[in-house]
Structure 1
Amino acid sequence: MALIDIGANLAHDSFDDDRDSVIARAAEAGVTRFVVTGSDLASSQGAIDIARAHPGRGFATAGLHPHHASDWSDELAGLMRRAAAAGEIVAIGETGLDYFRDISPRDVQMRVFAAQLAIAVEHDMPVFLHQRDAHADFIAILREYLPHLPRAVVHCFTDGPDVLADYLAADLHVGITGWICDERRGADLYAAAADIPDDRLMIETDCPYLMPRTIRPKPKSRRNEPAYLPWVRDSVATARGVAPDHIERITTANAARFFALA
């Protein structure tokens, strides 16, 4: 078994006491490579440091989550540019729009989203995208940059068939998390999962968030981690009516190609 977790927030402080053990458990579970998400200045640098510590297994992104858009700075933009130029990251992001909580003003989110897309274009980098309750503005801004971006993935996709159709028409890749394992919230995603072409599909944990509700026996801790990625694989396989090993093969190949992993 060889899975790739394309979105693991391993720089999160919930992993500070046992990060190496978490990474070891991932390997034991068949998650052989992982992309550590950068979502602000500290976690972007942390993601790079983790990737350095696990060459060939760990990789990093650098960016600013829309929740933190008000914290956009020359320092973070400089880190993103330096890391991209040095080959220390495999994508720009996490970046995008989130109107579900509106933690940062919407106009600021849109401006900072565009600024990060411009950096990705500048360095010919793929983008790792976040969108929640902001589809219209998100796709409008993204379409301006897509002709100049090599690749783009909407990570932690949670919407239904209509939004998915727009993303597929724009040639985007789609990342699925443990949201699909949640029978309460994930019904729309479960219904849409079969519509994602084999060559656009990837899977992720988004740990420490979104632990799959299908895990048995149920873990004592509510913290998600990369070792639980097989449960996402299995739910995606069920939703698409295929074997888990097929999902494993295609998502691993897609992730390796998308992020140009060595």
Structure 2
Amino acid sequence: MSSAADYADQFAADGTVLRHPDRPTPRYSLPRAIRNFQLLMKDKEDTSLVFKIYESLPSKNFIPRVQALALSDHGEMLRRTEPSLPEILDDHAALRQTPKGSLGHAYCDFMEAEGLSAAGLVAEADKLGRPKYNDLVQWFAERSRDTHDLFHVLTGYGRDALGEQCVLLFTHGQSPTHGHLLIGYAGALNIKLQVKGSKAPVMGAVNQAKRTGKGAPRLIEQPIRELLKQPVDSVRSALNIPEPSVYRECHRVWRSEGIDPYNMLAGESENGEPLAV
């Protein structure tokens, strides 16, 4: 495996180093990741545990992926034209100026309905107090974070429990890591355990999401500002993102079984009967 020193002499055109020499090298530890996942299952609001899981399961291909994009002419263009995605994504007034039916409109609709903002995601990450480094790894990691809600909009996966697991597995297809696999599949299994006896094809939904992510061009590499201006259906077609048919079938089955897909882990069905757990 390459060491930090192997990247110390690699710079972007503006002088930004690929990997800052002070950036710690994460160590792979599956037991530590599992311990943190168990803690996350007990306190799903503790987002710091998610970061600890990812830190415990670093991908050996992460730095090469950063290197391939950030040091390319295309990556240089993205850094120059889109230095801050949150500023672009949170400017709803500008996004609403794009044509009706655009990705920009769909994104605004989603974020406003959910009460979300790109800046809010940044703030949640900043609460963890992790050091930041002036390197291309930081740029790549932040761009990955800032495109998360665009994944929801483009894939059609909601913010329900299954939708979040599907987005994680879609993300794994885009940028493979054991962290995505652990949280995504363990989360899907937890859903199945919470709704025992349901005929909803939960594992089929997350597997479809993973295949879709793998078959789609990486969103992090796309010119987001330009995509936002285009019809959302055209963007999905260009990125080879089909309808999330199995996920929607899960929602259909659950509703036929009296289960609210957006409140399934609360312990009651829509008609007030306790779920079998």
- TM class by shorter chain equals under 0.3
Structure with greater strand share of residues: 1
Structure with greater helix share of residues: 2
TM-score (norm 1): 0.28
TM-score (norm 2): 0.27
Point out the structure with max Rg over C-alpha. 2
